[in-house]
Amino acid sequence: MPALIEDACAKVNLTLRVVGRRVDGYHDLESVVAFADCADRLTLESGSALTLAASGPRAQECGETADNLVIKAARLLGERVAGLKLGEFTLDKQLPVAAGIGGGSADAAAALRLLARSNELAIDDARVIEAARLTGADVPVCLSSRACVMTGVGETLLPLDLPKMPCVLVNPRVPVATSEVFTALGLRHGEMLVGATDVIRAVAWPEAGASFDDWIAMLTEGSNDLEAPAMRIQPVIDEVLSALRGTPGVRLARMSGSGATCFAIFDDGEAARYAAQSLQLDHPLWWVHAGTLG
C-alpha cells in the first residue's frame, strides 16, 4: 500500500466561554472553532508494528513517543476495531506545541483519518469517534477540521458556515500547559459561571451566507475566558495581543484556546501579510504565520 498523507491543521478558538466545572472536574465550554491553513503533516506507511518518528523544526518539542497523542489515538482505535491494520507514522512537526492551537489533537485526528482510510472505515464510524473523544477533548473537532460551535467537553459539535478570514497567528515561543490555565481560573468542582438566564439568551450565530462584517460583529461580542488566567502565567501574551491590535487593518485580536498563541483577523490578505512581516521584524523570536481561517 502506498504511503497515505494527512495534514493536521491548526485549530483556532475564535471565542471560548467557560460555562462551568462539572463535579467530575472537567470544564464545560462553548467555543467557536475555526481552522487555519498552517499544519503539521502526518504520513502512514504499512508495517507490522505501530511506530512514530518525528521530523521538522518542532520535532524536539514532541516529547516521548509513547506519550504522543498519535500513538494514543491509534491504540484506542485498535482496541475497538478487531484486526485494525496499523503501521509506521511519520510526523512533520511544524506547529508550536502547548500553544492553544490543538497541534497534538490535530495530529491525533490526522492519525485516526489515516487509519480509517487504510482500514476502509468511515470517518463518522462510532468507533473512530469514540477513539477521538477518549484521546482528548479537542480531537473530535479536529477529526473533521471544519468550523463549528463546540460545546460540553468537546463532544457536541454544531457546524458553522464561516466565511474565509485573513488572519495572522503569533506564538511567543513559550509553552502554556492547559491544566495550569484551568487551575488559575480557579473554579471549584460543580461551580457554574453560566446561569439559567444566560442559557435563555444563548447566542444565535450568523446563518449560512452571512457576511464577513456580520461575523466580525458577532465574534467581537464574545471573549476568551482563559485569556486572563493565561496572562497571569505568561504575561508575554499581553504583549502579543498589544502588538496584534496595533497593526493596520486589524478587525479582531484574541488569544486562542489556553494560549499562548494569539490570532488577529484582517479585512484582506494583503493587510495580514504586511502585519506578519512587521511583527516578525520587530519580534524575530516569535512564531508568526499569515494565512486564512475557515
Catalytic residues: 11, 138
Quote the CA–CA distance of 169 and 160 in Å, as a whole number. 21
Tell me the torsion sign for CA atoms 132, 136, 140, 143: negative
Asked if residue 89 lies in contact with residue 44, where contact means CB atoms within 8 angstroms, the answer is yes
* Sequence-ordered list of residues with C-beta below 8 angstroms from that of 76, at least 6 positions apart, any chain: 130, 131, 134, 135
**Amino acid, single-letter form, for residue 81:** V
**Amino acid, single-letter form, for residue 4:** L
Three cell numbers at 256? 486562542
DSSP string across 258-289: TSS-EEEEESSHHHHHHHHHHHHHH-TTSEEE
